[in-house]
Structure 1
């Protein structure tokens, strides 16, 4: 079975805006926010969707938490310029070479938290994606309202040390929808001891 790396997924997520208009010609795209509409458009489109054909045919929209500004937090980015690339394990035999770009420090629900944010070695060589960052995380909704293996957020390198994390833009790894995809496993150190009730919910009880 062919494994498709999550690097392709990142290119889809970052280019979803242009896909919305094409999909809306057939029917209105569901979603409370532009991010939700764009993500739903990507999943509905046969050329970009991670869904299996049987799931895509009946697809009406992903299940999202209602947008909540509580989950748009301002973090302080502590950069780690001397870290080396390592092989991040995935859901398949493939590995994804990443390094810890920095550590995000922030407060959520009156508790202090920190998350490592990563830089992908291969994407550095892709024009237009040199500033891409990858933020995977686990939280206390996993296995309940959300996918048990955690979720991802895409981001870009900020000019300074202030970093906005919008958990409303958290999405599931593509392997949740189709096992042919190879998805990075969320490091255990990126577990938040709090419920993050924002972003995409679990798919078909997975």
Structure 2
């Protein structure tokens, strides 16, 4: 019996040890994100909130490219609309549910050498308006992240648009209805804890 318990403890310890580097990497990612944030500064940084790291929300997604997609105007929180086109549909499974989530290219960013490969993944989920920002969250990807028609989507790196902190100053893209997930994503940035106008 002692040998069995020792074996179980060893297995659990090895699993915990395997997860720790990932958890630490997410904690470092969050620390860097908070430190470099351009809108929330100084003492207000204490109002950031994040879910604990959870590797179950780091998923491998199939990339189904949509090369003939037309440019369209994406609604924003302000008066300025932004032009995007669908780059691909990402397909993955989360909570035993198969999800299809479009990912986009920004017409404006494609003219920049630094951001020409940038992919924009906006989404809402069943936490939106509850524990996370009601208008949705974003994830940044790159065309260079796509390997053999697969890409890793890490919802632990989901972040709020600037509009979550300041009202009326920014034109934050609103996730299209195709990006409204009927699953719970308890990962990434939560609601900002300081009320704003």
TM-score, normalised relative to structure 1: 0.77
- Output the CA distance in 2 between the equivalents of 1:140 and 1:129: 30
Moved more, 157-166 or 95-104: 157-166
Map of 1:31-180 to 2, 5 A cutoff? 33-43=27-37, 49-51=38-40, 56-60=42-46, 62-157=48-143, 158-179=146-167, 180=169
Contact 2:47 2:192 in 1 (8 A): no
Contact kept, 8 Å, 2:102 with 2:121, in 1: the verdict is: yes
Correspondence for 2:180: 191
Q: State the partner residue of 1:202.
A: 191
Structure of higher CA gyration radius: 2
Distance 1:41 1:205, change over 3 A: closer
Number of aligned residue pairs: 168
Between Structure 1 and Structure 2, the one with more helix by share is: 2
Q: What is the CA–CA distance in structure 2 between the aligned matches of 1:104 and 1:76, rounded to whole Å?
A: 6
| Equivalence map 1:16-35=2 (5 Å) | 33-35=27-29
Q: CA RMSD in A?
A: 1.7
Question: Aligned in 2, Cα 1:104/1:58: closer, same or farther, shift over 3 Å?
Answer: closer
Structure 2 stretches of 5 or more lacking a match? 1-24
1:107, distance to aligned residue in structure 2 (A): 0.2
Deviation at 1:61, TM superposition (A): 5.7
Alignment partners' CA distance in 1, 2:138 and 2:87: 16
Deviation, structure 1 residue 60: 2.5
Contact 1:40 1:61 in 2 (8 A): no
Q: SS of the counterpart of 1:60?
A: helix
Instruction: Tell me how far apart the structure 1 counterparts of residues 47 and 153 of structure 2 sit (CA, whole Å).
Output: 24
Which 10-residue stretch deviates more, 151-160 or 114-123? 151-160
Q: In the aligned structure 2, how far is the partner of 1:58 from the partner of 1:178?
A: 12
Runs of 4+ residues over 6 Å off in structure 1: none
